[in-house]
Each structure stands twice: as C-alpha cells, then as structure tokens.
C-alpha cells in the first residue's frame, strides 16, 4: 500500500479543480495547470479533497498511485502558492543579471551564457550572485534551475560555481608539497 497515495490532496480556497476522464486541471491565483491521467489510477473529488486509488492490483497501477497523487498535490500547490528555487553564484567575476526575457550568466567563460526564460517563470537577480526562480509548475522551475546550475556546477576545491541555496559542497584538500 502506498503511504503517499492513500492520503487525500486538500484543495485550498481559491483553487478550482476540473476533473475529466483523462485530465485534471487546477486554476488558481497563479494561473492554470493541466495534468494528464492514466487509466491505471482512479481520481475522484469529494468536497475539498481529491482521492487517488489504483484501478487494479498490477505493478504499474501501484507504482503510479503515489506518483499521480504527488503530481496532483504539486499542481494544487503550484497554482495557489507557487514554487521557488534560489541559486547562489560563488567565484571571482561570476555574476548573473536578467535582461528582458533572458538570464545572462558570467561564469568565467570567454562568452556570457544567455538562457531564455520560459513562459510561466519569473527570474529575479536579487543580487549579482543570487538568482530566484519562481513559478507555478514545479517541474519547470526545477528544470530551469538545474540547467542554469549545469553550466558551472560547484567544484570541490575552491567551491566556485553555481549551487542551490543551502547546498553543502564537500570540500577536498589541495595538493601537498
């Protein structure tokens, strides 16, 4: 039995849920998100709660039970509160700025790294070394943050690079004489 799937998803005030046979959509103050559903799980709505149950006892249905419930919870939380990831930039001359619909990163390359900001995301350079990425879609926020981090991940000797806020980097000792 799924420990996550057996719990209902609470729908807060101000969020409207539209449930059809193969899709669920949530509309709130931060926009509207849609999730495709599989035939292996049954999704029902009772008052301000959404319940997810497996259709049968197959391995696929049991695997998708908790995943579907978590995706629906992320849908509801996204349109009501939103998600935010913060990135810290460490290193001499490393900085970031937002120019229109592009995030421009200076990470020690011979050129600036320009990333197009996807529609539905808000990127703010709070300081030249701190980026806040926020939006309603948890997957989109996390993927954009991971793409920005992948240009220059934190290295273990000096700790330079782009890292998530609060991420701990295991440091290594340098060369010995």
Average pLDDT over the chain reads 92
Examine the pLDDT at 1 and tell me if it is beyond 70. Answer: no
Examine the pLDDT at 117 and tell me if it is beyond 90. Answer: yes
Report, as an integer, the average pLDDT of 96-111.
Answer: 94
Report, as an integer, the average pLDDT of 91-107.
Answer: 94
Examine the pLDDT at 47 and tell me if it is beyond 90. Answer: no
State residue 3's pLDDT score: 84
Beta strands per DSSP E along 12-94: 16-19, 23-28, 31-36, 41-46, 49-54, 83-90
| All domains in the chain, ordered by first residue | 9-80 (3.90.930.12), 83-164 (3.90.930.12)
pLDDT digits (tens, 9 = 90+) for 156-176: 999 899 999 999 999 999 888
Q: Terminus-to-terminus CA distance in the chain, angstroms?
A: 58
More confident residue, 177 or 119: 119
The SS3 call for residue 175 is: coil
Share of the chain above pLDDT 70, in %: 99
User: 92-125: b or e for each residue (b if 16 or more CB lie within 10 Å)?
Assistant: eebbbeeeeeebebbbeeeeeeebebeeebebeb
Examine the pLDDT at 116 and tell me if it is beyond 80. Answer: yes
Rounded to whole angstroms, how far apart are CA atoms 32 and 25?
A: 7
Examine the pLDDT at 121 and tell me if it is beyond 90. Answer: yes
Examine the pLDDT at 149 and tell me if it is beyond 80. Answer: yes
> Could you write out the DSSP letters of every residue in 100-144?
TTEEEEE-SSSS-EEEEPPTTEEEEEEETTEEEEEES-HHHHHHH
The SS3 call for residue 146 is: helix
Quick one: pLDDT band at residue 88, thresholds 50, 70, 90? very high
Examine the pLDDT at 2 and tell me if it is beyond 80. Answer: no
DSSP state of 151: T
State residue 6's pLDDT score: 87
pLDDT digits (tens, 9 = 90+) for 49-82: 999 999 998 999 989 999 999 999 999 999 999 9
């Amino acid at each position: 039995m799924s420990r996550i799937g057996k719990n209902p998803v609470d729908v807060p005030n101000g969020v409207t849920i539209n449930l059809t046979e193969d899709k669920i959509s949530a509309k709130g103050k931060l926009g509207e998100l849609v999730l495709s559903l599989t035939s292996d799980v049954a999704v029902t709505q009772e008052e301000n709660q959404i319940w997810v149950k497996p259709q049968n006892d197959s391995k696929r249905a049991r695997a998708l039970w908790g995943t579907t419930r978590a995706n629906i919870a992320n849908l509801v939380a996204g349109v009501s509160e939103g998600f935010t990831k913060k990135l810290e930039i460490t290193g001499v001359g490393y900085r970031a700025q937002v120019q229109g619909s592009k995030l421009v990163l200076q990470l020690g390359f011979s050129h600036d790294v320009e990333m197009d900001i996807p529609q539905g995301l808000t990127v703010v350079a709070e300081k030249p070394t701190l980026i806040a990425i926020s939006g309603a879609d948890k997957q989109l926020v996390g993927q954009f943050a991971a793409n920005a981090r992948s240009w220059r991940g934190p290295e273990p000797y000096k700790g330079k690079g782009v890292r998530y806020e609060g991420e701990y980097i295991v440091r290594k000792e340098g060369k010995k004489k």
